[in-house]
Structure 1
């Protein structure tokens, strides 16, 4: 860009990078490039997949989704979930589509069933690992499921499958499928994970 500027002025001026004019152009070039980077970031952050920090907060506020104490990645998933939930017709296919978008996984991970009681459903065979990978707790996931179904429909229960298995080797403490390395009460860092069985109606709702 500096060379283009040089070409537009009279040859009466010294047109080198070390000249006074060259130094001024260099400063202007730096400022213009910074502005270009800023405008490019603004353009990119219009996309929810790229937005961060306060920009992501503004996107969430537009659709009525609170951040709470979640980080950007989890909040981004909540915003996507809110957008999808607002357009859900309550059908099994749409519920599964919303959950897949929220957890960024395949719709095949979810199994919904009609309960024996009227206006009630239940879920089975959902891998607990995909919930942890999305940054959610099982209870937050249960709230999302309940908020996705049609008004008046009860989610009776949600079965979340872990990966824990009884070891078939003598060194069971180091078996990757066994229960070991529980450095967190909410998310094991090594070994298999226990499953979970949730009754949404008995859990405390979180703002979604």
Structure 2
């Protein structure tokens, strides 16, 4: 930017950043760059996926969702859950879509099945990678699922097993759920979920 400004000076001035006028323009340019960066940050933080801190609090207030003690990652997911809650009509596909949007994961990461008990479901596959990335405990995940299921429907169990599996026999097999390749782009995952010592109930 500074070179562009200096090039626009009339020939009465020395067009050199080290000249007096060049030093003045450099100071102004630095301030303009800082202001421009701040404006860009404010603009990006208006996006729910990028908002942080007090900006995220303001977005949450628009949806009457208090933060409580939630960090940004969990609070963002809860706000999204509140937004998509009204989009779920109680069907399995809609519930899976709502949960996937809330946790920013693929639809294939979630499998919901009917339980033998009346008005009950089983989460046969849970998005472990997304839950661990956000920092949600299993109890908090259950709370989120309860927000998108139909009224009166209970969750009897959640399967936290991973997808990793060995070959079914002694012959060579190829599967995305086997051992990972060298680049770690494929391969099954082990079960397990983040379990914080200070687990708390979400204010939803």
Same fold (TM over 0.5): yes
Matched, 1:121 2:120: yes
Matched, 1:110 2:106: no
TM-score by length of 2: 0.70
Gaps of 5+ in 1: 164-191, 196-203
Partner of residue 12, structure 1: 12
- Cα offset for 1:5? 2.9
| Structure 1 pair 55–125 and aligned structure 2 pair: CA distance change class (3 A) | same
Q: What is the alpha-carbon distance in structure 1 between the residues aligned to residue 155 and residue 19 of structure 2?
A: 77
Superposed, 1:94-173 pairs within 5 Å as 94-108=94-108, 109-113=110-114, 116-117=117-118, 120-127=119-126, 129-130=128-129, 131-151=131-151, 153-163=152-162
- Cα offset for 1:115? 5.2
Within the candidate set 201, 204, 207, 2:203 is matched to 207
- Cα offset for 1:50? 1.6
Q: What is the alpha-carbon distance in structure 1 between the residues aligned to residue 4 and residue 64 of structure 2?
A: 48
Answer whether contact 1:104 1:134 (CA < 8 A) is retained: no
| Structure 1 pair 194–25 and aligned structure 2 pair: CA distance change class (3 A) | closer
TM-score by length of 1: 0.69
Matched, 1:43 2:39: no
SS of 2:159 mapped into structure 1: strand
User: Per-residue displacement from partner, 1:166-204 (whole Å, max 9, x unpaired)?
Assistant: xxxxxxxxxxxxxxxxxxxxxxxxxx6569xxxxxxxx9
SS of 1:142 mapped into structure 2: helix
Q: What is the alpha-carbon distance in structure 2 between the residues aligned to residue 12 and residue 106 of structure 1?
A: 63
Answer whether contact 2:146 2:155 (CA < 8 A) is retained: no
User: Per-residue displacement from partner, 1:81-128 (whole Å, max 9, x unpaired)?
Assistant: 2211133222221111111222333323222316543xx221142247
Q: What is the alpha-carbon distance in structure 1 between the residues aligned to residue 8 and residue 107 of structure 2?
A: 59
Q: What is the alpha-carbon distance in structure 1 between the residues aligned to residue 32 and residue 133 of structure 2?
A: 40
Answer whether contact 2:111 2:123 (CA < 8 A) is retained: yes
Partner of residue 187, structure 2: none
Q: What is the alpha-carbon distance in structure 1 between the residues aligned to residue 12 and residue 146 of structure 2?
A: 75
Q: What is the alpha-carbon distance in structure 1 between the residues aligned to residue 3 and residue 128 of structure 2?
A: 56
